[in-house]
Amino acid sequence: MANKSITIKEAQDKVDTWIRTTGVRYFNELTNMAILTEEVGEVARIIAREYGEQSFKKKEKNKELADELADVFFVIVCIANQTGIDLTKAFEKNIEKKNKRDSKRHKENKKLNTK
């Protein structure tokens, strides 16, 4: 596969096509929420071992953070698709909210500016 960037909309379309052709159908929302929780746990495990103080178990050595983050993204896209959410619009709205709410907050946070 070519190393080409895709839009969030294209990602939503790709996931939908994959689900309908290979995955048969979407799991229900509760199942996908449980799967998302499981995938986030796998990300947490890698972070704890790679950047934290825990060590990898032998069977965990082949786990890759990028792959696990992609799994999280895939399930998030599934949930968005099945609940009718346009992630591009949702993300743009979320960034706008953060820009309004946090325009000065982080710059004025002494905890972030102690270097």
Tens digit of pLDDT for each residue in 36-47?
999 999 999 999
Q: Based on the domain organization, do 93 and 59 belong to the same domain?
A: no
Domain for residue 42, yes or no?
yes
The answer on 39 and 68 residing in a single domain is: yes
As for how many domains the chain has, the answer is 2
Q: Are residues 28 and 45 in the same domain?
A: yes
The reported pLDDT for the residue numbered 90 is 98
The CA distances from residue 102 to 29, 113, 114, in Å, are: 31, 15, 19
User: Whole-prediction pTM value?
Assistant: 0.84
User: Do 99 and 77 share a domain, yes or no?
Assistant: no
Together in a domain, 26 and 54: yes
Answer yes or no: do 47 and 60 share one domain.
Answer: yes
Rounded CA-CA distance 37/59 in Å is: 21
33 and 62 both lie in a single domain: yes
pLDDT for position 115? 63
Residue 105 has pLDDT above 70, yes or no: yes
pLDDT at 5: 94
Q: By residue range, what is the domain housing residue 93?
A: 88-115
92/79 same-domain check: no
Dihedral sign (CA 10, 15, 16, 17): positive
In the block, residue with structure tokens 């689900």: 19
Q: Classify residue 2: in a domain, yes or no.
A: no
> Residue 106 — very low, low, confident or very high, per pLDDT cuts 50/70/90?
confident
Task: Give the CATH number for residue 36.
Answer: 1.10.287.1080
Q: What percent of the chain has pLDDT over 70?
A: 97
pLDDT value for 104: 78
Q: Is the pLDDT of residue 1 over 70?
A: no
User: Is 3 within the bounds of a domain?
Assistant: no
Alpha-helical (H) ranges within 1-107 are 8-21, 29-50, 65-82, 87-101
Do residue 74 and residue 101 come from a single domain?
no
Query: Would you give the DSSP letter of residue 113?
Result: S
Question: Does residue 115 lie in a domain region?
Answer: yes
Instruction: Give the pLDDT mean for 8-18.
Output: 98
Residues 6+ apart with CB under 8 A from 65: 43, 46, 47, 50
Contacts 24+ apart (CB under 8 A), 14-17: 15/74, 15/77, 15/78, 15/81, 16/81
